[in-house]
Chain A
Amino acid sequence: MALRMTMGNEAAAMGALAAGCDFFAGYPITPATEILEEMGRRLPARGGVFLQMEDELAAMAAVIGAAWGGARAMTATSGPGFSLMQEHIGYAALTQTPCVVVDAQRGGPSTGLPTLPAQGDVMQARFGAHGDRPAIVLTASSVWEAYAATRQAFALAERHRTPVVVLLDAVIAHMREPVEIFDLPPPGRAPWPGSRTTKPPFGRHPFAPFGGGRDPIVVTGLSHGEDGLPTTGSGQAAERILKDSITAIAHDPELASGVEGFYLDDARWAVVAYGITARAAQAAVESLRAAGVPVGLLKLHVLWPLPEAALIHLADRVDGILVAELNLGQLVMPIRAAVAGRTPVEFVGRADGLLLAPEEIGARLRTGSGSVVTEQGGRRDA
């Protein structure tokens, strides 16, 4: 097995290439820049297009344009750029444009803590654009998972015709771990499944870009029906397209199974965590288990749609759930709503640029008391 020390960002780029990505547009921002640089090195050699745009609005716009030109397209950014992309993420959602956005989260809001880790974009990734829309958000807690999630994002984007967000964090993005050297498919663009049909261009029909001998189509950020033409009067046809898409995503078994359990069989308390925090939680759980404390971990690979069935199943079996995340309380809100009182849901989090340490999570699991945000100040390891 040939292993290579690989950075999370590099792995994300490789995951995109493995999925057939042939277009990248971006704007430099730490801690996502290595994805841009990696794509800049690799894409042209594979016959793809690499563009550094003038800002993130433009990058996202170019990605959408490229998708309609038939490319498997992606961009990568971090907090400030992700905020700027929101308008066009909404546009991609309404126009059912398959594309991928990697957001390597750093401390915010605003310029915030460049470039310390955070998980503060979880709600923005779901609700950042105005209006209602379907959303798929994946995450990763290792270099390998950064590869796998980005690769999977392209398949999901294509299946559901929607922008898919991969949320990394500054630690996973910049960490290096040994991974098996990735094999890339031969360069070249696979045709879109809808290319040969004459079905209407929107709704549940597969995506087909402009050209390829098809009749011309209209793409607009105005609400539209399956034919793509703006809806006049009320937008019932448009609403139905959105609802259909939200339902299809909610019932996609691949998304619903985006969780991983550790020591859950006999756990009395369970941590729910994702990204870098899931690794701290895993260390905490392992050390408590070594001391005979029955705790477990539910690690999330998919954040949106929230894997509700798995959470409810867990809630029915444990005495309590501790949600750990690097923010002041984001995913804990929909988790509480999903669990709906079946079991207590507590929260531990911080947003000061430091990681939640295994000891911090472990201490909360031991005491299981009160939902308070970790007090700030003072390095915990000093």
Chain B
Amino acid sequence: MGAGPVRLTRIRLTGRGGQGIMLAGAILADAAMRDGRHVTETQEYGPEARLGATKAEVILSDAPIAFPEVGQADILVCLSRDGFLKYGGRIVPGGLRLVEETSVSEEALDRDLCRFPWRERARHLGLELTMNVMAIGTLQAVTGVVSEESLEAVIRERVKAAYVEANLTALREGERLGSGVRAPVVSPEGKRREGSRHGFNDLQ
């Protein structure tokens, strides 16, 4: 749609049931709303959502969002292998893919996949379940699509009191992992991406 100056970013979060993908999507969407942006969030429901790959989709925009479905995402955040297999391909050419390093096998090591040791770090910090929030932290550090302050505020609001600190720690660890990572602008074919037609400028 608008090839104009409107910044519209379509994000797909995927992983296995139980990894907290729904919560991650909700935190991201809530935080973007706090930032004053237009947001839609859709999730997968039904029995299928309990099995194998699940996803949450968030669209962020500076203008009202007409169509809330993420077909080809601008950004994929992936926590599991089956998530990657099912949704890894549904992304715009040159789109950004932030993936848990164990979710892609060796042969899929595209140059433009950004792999992060979220699981290992979350385990190390003592709560593997926080890897969803860690991934959101990395997403924020790499892209700035959402502000750190809003993420923190939402986590304080949404997460059970006993787990707030662990999640904030995970968020910061995710941000640390992402800081200094330049969002790749090289597509798998090695061509320079021409900036997304969706005004994907916040990646620079």
A176 and B29 contacting across the interface, CB-CB below 8 Å: yes
Contacts of B71 in A (CB 8 A): 357, 380-381
Closest to B58 in A: A176
Residues of B near A358 (CB, < 8 A) are: 1, 66-67
Of residues 77 to 133 in A, which have CB atoms within 8 Å of B's CB atoms? 114-115
Within 8 A of A (CB), among B3-36: 3-4, 26, 29-30, 33
The B-contacting residues of A in range 164-181, CB under 8 angstroms, are 170-171, 174-178
CB neighbours of B2 from chain A (8 A):
286-287, 290
CB of A243 within 8 Å of the partner chain: no
Contact mask for chain B residues 86-105; partner A; CB cutoff 8 A; 1 contact, 0 none: 00011000000000000000
* A193 CA to B90 CA, complexed, in Å: 56
Contact (Cβ within 8 A) A382 B26: no
- B89 closest partner in A (C-beta): A382
| B31, closest chain A residue (CB) | A5
Q: Are A283 and B41 in contact (CB under 8 A)?
A: no
- Knowing A175-B40, A286-B2, say if A114 contacts B47 (CB, 8 Å): yes
Tell me the residues in window 111-164 of chain A with beta carbons closer than 8 Å to chain B beta carbons.
Answer: 114-115
Q: Point out the residues of chain A lying under 8 angstroms from B1, CB to CB.
A: 283, 286-287, 290, 358
Considering only residues 353-382 of chain A, those with a C-beta below 8 Å from chain B are 355, 357-358, 379-382
Q: Are A5 and B41 in contact, CB atoms less than 8 angstroms apart?
A: yes
Contact residues, A12-71 vs B (CB, 8 A): 30-31
Contact A282:B68 (CB < 8 A) given known A30-B45, A381-B90, A382-B89: no
Closest residue of chain A to B34 (Cβ to Cβ) is A3
- For chain B, the bracket of interface size reads 20 to 34
Interface hub of A30, A31, A175, A290 (most chain B Cβ within 10 A): A175
Contact B66 A5 (CB under 8 A): no
A65 to B4, CA, bound (A): 56
* Chain A: CB-nearest residue to B69: A355
CA distance A5 to B34 in the complex (A): 10
Q: How far is the CA of A162 from the CA of B149 in the complex (A)?
A: 50
Known contacts A171-B68, A176-B26, A282-B66: does B90 contact A382 (CB below 8 Å)? Answer: yes
Whether B30 lies near A5 (C-beta < 8 A) is yes
Contacts of B33 in A (CB 8 A): 3, 5, 178
B45 A171 Cβ-Cβ under 8 A = no
Q: Which residue of A lies closest to B154 (CB)?
A: A5
Judge whether B4 and A177 touch: CB under 8 Å. no
Cα–Cα distance between A5 and B60 once the two chains are bound (Å) = 13
Contact of B45 among A3, A174, A290, A382 (CB under 8 A): A174
Q: Does A280 contact B (CB under 8 A)?
A: yes
Query: Which residues of B lie under 8 Å from residue A283 when comparing CB positions?
Result: 1, 66-67
Q: Are B72 and A175 in contact (CB under 8 A)?
A: no
Q: Which residues of B contact A355 (CB under 8 A)?
A: 69
Which of B33, B68, B90 lies at the interface centre, i.e. has the most chain A CB atoms within 10 A of its CB? B68
Tell yes or no: B42 within 8 A of A by CB.
yes
Once the chains are docked, how many angstroms separate the CA of A381 from the CA of B91? 9
**Which residues of chain A (157-213) have a CB below 8 Å from chain B?**
170-171, 174-178
Q: Is A342 an interface residue (CB 8 A)?
A: no
Closest CB of chain A to B139's CB: distance in Å?
18
**Cβ–Cβ < 8 Å partners of B26 in chain A:** 5, 176
In Å, the complex CA distance between A31 and B48 comes to 13
Q: Are B67 and A175 in contact (CB under 8 A)?
A: no
| Residue in A closest to B71 when the chains form the complex, CB atoms | A381
Chain A CB within 8 A of B190 CB: no
B45 and A115 contacting across the interface, CB-CB below 8 Å? yes
Output the least CB separation between A336 and chain B (Å).
26
Contact A290–B66 (Cβ < 8 Å): no
Instruction: Report chain A residues within 8 Å CB of B47.
Output: 114
> Among the listed B39, B46, B90, which residue makes an inter-chain contact with A5, where contact means beta carbons less than 8 Å apart?
B39
Q: With an 8 A cutoff between CB atoms, is A279 at the interface?
A: yes
Given A5-B30, A114-B46, also A177-B40 (CB < 8 A): yes
In the assembled complex, the CB of A105 is this many whole angstroms from the nearest CB of chain B, namely 14
Contact status A381-B72, CB under 8 Å:
yes
A-B contact pairs, 30 of them (CB 8 A): A3-B33, A5-B26, A5-B29, A5-B39, A30-B46, A114-B47, A115-B46, A170-B45, A171-B69, A174-B43, A174-B45, A175-B40, A175-B41, A175-B42, A176-B29, A177-B40, A177-B41, A178-B33, A279-B66, A280-B67, A282-B66, A283-B67, A286-B2, A286-B66, A287-B2, A290-B2, A357-B71, A358-B1, A380-B71, A382-B89
A282-B67, A290-B2, A358-B66 given; 13 more Cβ-contact pairs under 8 Å: A174-B43, A174-B45, A175-B40, A176-B26, A176-B42, A177-B39, A178-B39, A280-B69, A287-B2, A290-B4, A357-B69, A357-B71, A380-B71
Q: Which 5 A-B pairs have the closest CB atoms?
A: A381-B71, A283-B66, A283-B67, A282-B66, A176-B41
Interface residues in chain A, defined as those with a beta carbon under 8 Å from any beta carbon in chain B: 3, 5, 30-31, 114-115, 170-171, 174-178, 276, 279-280, 282-283, 286-287, 290, 355, 357-358, 379-382
